[in-house]
A = this chain, B = another copy of it.
């Protein structure tokens, strides 16, 4: 049976590219919001869901973090790191020198500001709700428009790519996580994502909590604080550590952590993404 994979639509976005990178055989089902992608799995409409969690330029996707913290019991069981390659595309009958309008999502326009200033100083940027919608607008307009979008959108709409990787910062990657009913089984290179909070904001409580990892030589890969929704001064701490929660050392650390915090939630254990890996 073909696996059904929910993702953040519409088709032609980086989320769809990530879904294909993860599993090119899956049946992809688009949903309009991050909660809807996850609920599709919870409700049995799809088998797995993929959501963006972090971009190297824009930072964390806090909608995903907040959903993991308080709204779902699904596990992270995989991650995918997608290089973000903004492409400039036109209709096949448009001439580059005629381009006067550039459609894209404001975030993509901002990420390509220097390229546009250098190469299209007179063109007017026009905002779209998504990169995919930008290509749609461009294809429906005259022959003086271009759009900035992922390669996948060009394939879908029959646009012609005239330049790839036009973002000003070259190291632009987005990390996506796969959500399902259980963790990945242990491999030789895993990560565990978790979050915890303290009832009271005492000096040293975070320090002591991190001690459960340090004393066991467990490396922390990421740490972040997110204000809880109750009050501005209170935080959830999100930590990625090396290892699988079925490893003895990690299990011990989590047991020790539980005695120090007011809440602890493990989002899941999964293999670290490697450039050459896929599914």
Contacts and interface: CB of A to CB of B under 8 A. Distances in A.
Contact of A223 (B126, B127, B225, B233): B225
A101 interface: no
If over half of A's interface residues share one DSSP class (helix, strand or loop), that class is named, otherwise mixed; here it is mixed
Interface in A196-226: 201-204, 206-208, 210-211, 213-215, 217-226
A5 to B, nearest CB: 23
A78 interface: no
Number of copies: 2
A196 to B, nearest CB: 13
Given A127-B105, A127-B128, A220 B232 contact: no
Contacts of A60: 59-60
A23 to B, nearest CB: 23
Given A62-B57, A105-B106, A214-B208, A222 B222 contact: no
Contact of A59 (B59, B217, B220, B232): B59
Contact of A106 (B56, B127, B226): B127
A137 to B, nearest CB: 10
Contact of A207 (B113, B203, B214, B227): B214
Contact of A127 (B129, B215, B221, B224): B129
* 6 residue pairs, one from A and one from B, having the closest CB atoms: A204-B214, A207-B214, A127-B127, A59-B62, A207-B210, A203-B219
Interface of A: 33, 56-60, 62, 65, 105-106, 109, 113, 125-130, 133, 171, 173, 201-204, 206-208, 210-211, 213-215, 217-227, 229, 232-233, 235, 237
6 contacts: A57-B62, A59-B65, A203-B219, A207-B210, A207-B213, A223-B237
